[in-house]
Amino acid sequence: MGRNDTFGWLETDLIGELLAEHFPSVDPLRVTFVDLKKHVQSLPGFLEEPGHPCNERILEQIQAEWIGALADAASDEDD
């Protein structure tokens, strides 16, 4: 991702990877959706897009992507 690149709520795979990178000590299974939303909004490059509000389904997908990114990172360490 370049310096001027931004992303929004619908890029859940990227958000999951960035959450794993920026919040490595946070357990995504213990994060409330309120805190998850705050974590996402704090990521560098995040920009809310008009017409694409956040909802529970999107937050669930982000949480699943975050869990997957942590699992991938753990399996890479095992290799």
Q: Please give the residue range of the domain that contains residue 64.
A: 12-78
pTM: 0.88
The domain total for the chain is: 1
CA angle 38, 12, 48 (to 5 degrees): 50
Q: Which CATH number is 17's domain given?
A: 1.10.10
What pLDDT does residue 17 have?
97
How many percent of the chain have pLDDT more than 90? 76
Query: Is residue 50 situated within a structural domain?
Result: yes
40: pLDDT confidence band, cut at 50, 70 and 90?
A: very high
Query: Is residue 5 situated within a structural domain?
Result: no
pLDDT tens-digit profile of 1-39?
554 689 999 999 999 999 999 999 999 999 999 999 999
Query: Is residue 6 situated within a structural domain?
Result: no
